[in-house]
Amino acid sequence: MTGSAPVLLVVGGDPHDVQTTKAALDHRFGSDYRVLTAASAAEGVAELNTLNTRGEQVAVVAVDLHLPDGDGVQFLEQAAGMHRSVARILLFDMDEYHTRIPFKELPALRRASALGQIDGWMVKDWVKPEEWLYPLVQEALARGRRRISNGTWCTPSSANSGIPAAMTCVTASPLTACRSTSIPRTASWAANSSANTRST
């Protein structure tokens, strides 16, 4: 879709990963959303500024934790400052353990979750977007729509066990509250075994 359709923005330093994600999103959401990409934090901020100036809606931003010129969490904070209803997804590279949880990045994930800086996260290297990518984006889009219609913001929910908890959406009106999503549930949309990783 072209014109003023809402935007799904994918930001990452690996061109193959970014284009693979873009193609999958175009296939599933392209009839209702424009999928744009950026190869760096600077390029992504410039794109967000342009969209903001035009008064265009950014529905979802999915960004790598590690960018060539910056930090993914900081980028998501900037995105939320420019586009209040945006849903923020943090992307992680799969580590050598090939699990659905990025153990090496848990400190960053815990902090981002505790501070309410992300709405969801996913380990990359998915094979079937129907299992991991699409459910995550659909949930993110639903959160964004609830924020627009009900006037909501996100705050951290309490930590659970050793795994960080995701944000609980708190509504500014007495209407329906957003559903809380725990990180273990979100992790079920990520890779969970070496057999599911993308072949190299």
The values of phi and psi at residue 129, to 5°, are -60, -25
Q: Is pLDDT at 182 greater than 50 in this prediction?
A: no
Domain assignment of residue 109, yes or no? yes
Is 107 domain-assigned? Answer: yes
Is 60 among the domain residues? Answer: yes
Question: Which of the two residues, 162 and 177, has the higher pLDDT score?
Answer: 162
Element (H, E) at 17: helix 15-29
Instruction: Report the alpha-carbon distance of residue 194 to residue 199 in Å, rounded.
Output: 10
- Please, which residues bridge with residue 87 across strands? 60
Percentage above 90 pLDDT, the chain? 57
In whole angstroms, what is the distance from residue 83 CA to residue 109 CA? 22
pLDDT given at position 196: 38
User: Does residue 25 fall inside a structural domain?
Assistant: yes
pLDDT of 173: 26
The count of C-alpha atoms lying within 13 angstroms of the C-alpha of 179, restricted to the half-sphere facing its C-beta, is 10
* pLDDT tens per residue, range 54-110: 999 999 999 999 999 999 999 999 999 999 899 999 999 887 777 777 888 999 999
Would you state the pLDDT for residue 157?
Answer: 34
Q: Is residue 155 part of a domain?
A: no
Q: Residue 83's pLDDT is what?
A: 94
Domain encompassing residue 115: 7-150+184-196
pLDDT digits (tens, 9 = 90+) for 107-124: 999 999 999 999 999 998
Task: Determine the residue type at 41.
Answer: A
In 55-150, which ranges are E strands? 58-64, 66-67, 70-71, 87-92, 120-123
Q: Is residue 145 assigned to a domain?
A: yes
Cα 38 from Cα 108, distance rounded (Å): 22
Has residue 184 got a pLDDT over 80?
no
CATH number at residue 92: 3.40.50.2300
Other beta carbons less than 10 A from residue 31's beta carbon: 9
Q: Is residue 167 part of a domain?
A: no
Longest CA span, the chain: 50
Chain segment 128-146, per-residue pLDDT in tens: 899 889 999 999 999 888 8
Q: Smallest Cα–Cα separation from 62: which of 86, 98, 46, 31?
A: 86
Q: Does a structural domain hold residue 161? A: no
User: What is the number of domains present in the chain?
Assistant: 1
